A and B are shown apart, each in its own frame.
Chain A
Amino acid sequence: MTRPAPRVVETLNAALHRLFEERPALHLLGEDVLDPYGGAFKVTRGLSTRHPDRVFGTPISEAGITGVAGGLALAGDQAIVEMMFGDFAALAFDQVLNLISKSVTMYGDRVPMPVVVRCPVGGNRGYGPTHSQSLQKHFLGVPNLALYETSPFHDPYAQLAEGLDRGPAMLFEDKVLYTRRMFRDGAVDEHHGYALLGGPAGWAHVSPVDGTPADVVLICPGGTAHRGLDAARLLRARGLTAHVLVPARLYPPDLEPVLPLLAGARLVAVAEESTEGGTWGTEIAARVHTRLWSHLRAPVLLLSSADSVVPTAPHLEAGVLLGAERIAAEIEAAAARPLPPRAPAALPVAAAGTDAVAPAAGEPRAAVPESAEPLGGVPVAVPKLNNNDTAYLVLRWLADEGVHVEEGDPLVEVETSKAIEEITAPAAGYLRVRAAEDTEVGVGEPLAELLAERPAVRAPGTPVPTGPGPRVTRPESAAAPAPPPAEGPGATRTQVLDRAQQGTAAVVTRAHREVPAAFAAVEVTADAVLARLRTLSDETGAEVGLPEAVVKAVASAHPAFPHLFGSLQDERTVRLADTVDIGVTMDAGNGLYIPVLRDCAARSLADLSDDLMDFRMKAFRAEFTAGELSGGALSVSLNTEPGVLLVQPIVMWPQLCMVSVGGPLTRLVLADGVPAPTTVVTLGLAYDHRVVNGRDAVAFLRTVADALHDPEQLVKLID
């Protein structure tokens, strides 16, 4: 059996032991650090026993012992100082600021000052206002002083060794982190892994194992890392992919290894436990803004604890200190804001003599071709229209180049993998087209600009800039024939999936990857419901069929099985639906759609029937809007063609269940000993086994079947 990873406190302790073995001149000073107590948090356990002449238990005198450490360094020795609580580093501030850090460059030659001041920091333990603070921000920007923070990804040996060698330094250790285990071997959880960028004292980069690029990059110091990871999991459940960056060194920060990642994200956020104002995050944000100004899609989002003293009472403390839910909620809100277009600037270039920063994978180099003029008027960018696509096809310009349009006028039709959307003018102006028809344009990239003055007429034959995307042609069907095969033996025959099928592929691949699905099915006698539907159709003069009845029966099961209509918010929480909105599969030969019937529990069968017929026509004409295809709490896969025995659908993540309906089948059954024909239909349920077990699944199906079969319930369902 694999041994569990060591706890952070054990790793710190091992690092100190190793440094003491390697560095005969190293000393440690602190309150209650001697064995058998071994320090308030047991970080120095065993050290005084093994090195009694170099480990000193001191009186409560933070300024004094820090001054002694400075003296040891000036005399050619090395020292680590332990503050019992980092809050009292305030007492040592003068020694750090005016003696230790200044001595490096105050005597003509550079004087090495191998001193590290270790500070247990942070709250969430109910220790109150003077034992719960995060004082990192108060030590920022002191010349010659480097700041490190313990993290579950970084070996503290590397941090302490670098801190001593480039000294002086401070190491901030989040108290809650001490008992957490280290991450190792690049693994975080089932969905996330990590890699170290910029060496062992560089950045830990946590990202999804499937390589999904970042919508959001969340930068957080080691003490906030677990909250950052929890937030990433919450955001994942809400459809946003967050990468998390954890630095080993807070100051001076080395952003170079992470600039490409930051440049490619929709949003950069910094989360830290320090109270609001003058924070490490503002320092990082200022540097990111300076380095990546032309690449940022939104201001860096700063997340810190409240502007407050840290209270002792746990419920009040939790209200002040930054937590995962708040990180996720603020990021979600910030990411939902509309994005300005990506400016057509060159990528950031590092200082002279170093390499230019490479673009992130999949990142277009520039939003507009080099020959294009810069945008001058009000930009018209491609909004994010759904969660599946990163680029859309420009189908048709609805206004001519150079004409004057008013705010709200339709400008252009773009095609997503599922729908055609009309983009309207965000302001009045003369239209200058930036993306030609039949080109792909990425989300946020410019489609056009609206100028205050009539633009010069393009010279005949001047092509409209085509944007960064490849020119695409649309095949006529999902199985569009490939070009003629190359001459000669062994040439491979291929067929290209059309855009709709590519969209379907992306969605079902993700669903298949995300959802551990199981399946159950029951048979339901359908004679009574079919007969009742025929009568209803005759009465109303409009056809109402089995699909509508099944949708209604599924909706009627909602009160007894609300969790089947939910979505996973995190590993332990199901977000329940407010209204019973049910998606229904539609494939009229132009691609698979799952439009959503709203509020199915409250609406009549005839009403739902109208919507369903409207959807069928839209599926046939491929003219859904994105809004009609989103927001379902559960879906029903309709396969009511005669002869369809059983359908096992894929659960449409983040939904938890998909019901399937097969076609009517005729069976001979014995009624009072006489064979009689009866019509049956198979109802199936694919379900997320993390939330639903087989017992629930079958009970749910039985409830739906009873609603369709039991005479009393049928009356309620249909009338």
Chain B
Amino acid sequence: MAELTEPTDLSGLTDLVADVLRTPAAEVTEETGPATTAAWTSLRHVQIVSRVEQTYGIRLTAREVRACRSVGALRAVLTAKRGTP
């Protein structure tokens, strides 16, 4: 498996989310999520998760996907996954 350095790289994940949401990266914070951003729809949610899966070589369960309610939560899930061999 590739070296997993990306999840700790704030700009990498932020850029990914900004790219899917089609918003400037500067507007994406750790709190950005469906509750704060109208553009974060259910479809975009899945697109973000899918991009994260592809970029970091992991696979999330439906429950984990549903728990990714913000950039911060997404990062937490990624970190937890990273700890898993």
Contact = CB atoms under 8 A, between A and B. Distances in A.
Interface residues of B, number: 20
Given A610-B62, A613-B62, A542 B67 contact: yes
Contact of B65 (A544, A545, A587, A613): A613
Contacts of B58: none
A617 interface: yes
Interface in B1-56: 33-35, 38-39, 41-43, 45-47, 49-50
Nearest to B46: A616
A609 B65 contact: no
B62 A614 contact: yes
A541 B46 contact: no
A543 B67 CA distance: 6
A532 interface: no
Interface in B66-83: 66-69
Contacts of A614: 62
B41 A543 contact: no
B69 A542 contact: yes
A588 B43 contact: yes
A592 to B, nearest CB: 13
A620 B62 contact: no
Contact of A640 (B42, B62, B63): B42
B62 to A, nearest CB: 4
Interface residues of A, number: 26
Contacts of B67: 541-543
Most buried by A among B45, B46, B47, B69: B46
Contacts of B68: 543
Contact of A543 (B38, B39, B45, B47): B45
Given A616-B42, A616-B45, A543 B62 contact: no
Interface in A377-415: none
Contact of B39 (A544, A642, A664): A642
Contacts of A537: 35, 69
Contacts of A610: 62-63, 66
Contacts of A617: 46, 49-50, 62, 65
B46 A620 contact: yes
Contacts of B65: 613, 616-617
Most buried by A among B33, B62, B65: B62
A696 interface: no
Contact of A588 (B34, B47, B69): B47
B63 A620 contact: no
B38 to A, nearest CB: 4
B55 to A, nearest CB: 15
A189 interface: no
Contacts of A609: 66
B47 A545 contact: no
Interface string A516-555: 0000000000000000001001000111110100000000
A224 to B, nearest CB: 53
A641 B66 contact: no
Contacts of B62: 610-611, 613-614, 617
A642 B38 contact: yes
A638 B43 CA distance: 10
Most buried by A among B38, B43, B45, B65: B43
Contacts of A616: 42-43, 45-46, 65
Interface of A: 534, 537, 541-545, 547, 587-588, 609-614, 616-617, 619-621, 638, 640-642, 664
Interface of B: 33-35, 38-39, 41-43, 45-47, 49-50, 62-63, 65-69
Given A543-B69, A612-B42, 6 more contacts: A534-B35, A541-B67, A616-B42, A616-B65, A619-B46, A640-B42
In the complex, the 4 A-B pairs of residues with the closest C-beta atoms, listed nearest first: A614-B62, A542-B66, A616-B46, A642-B38
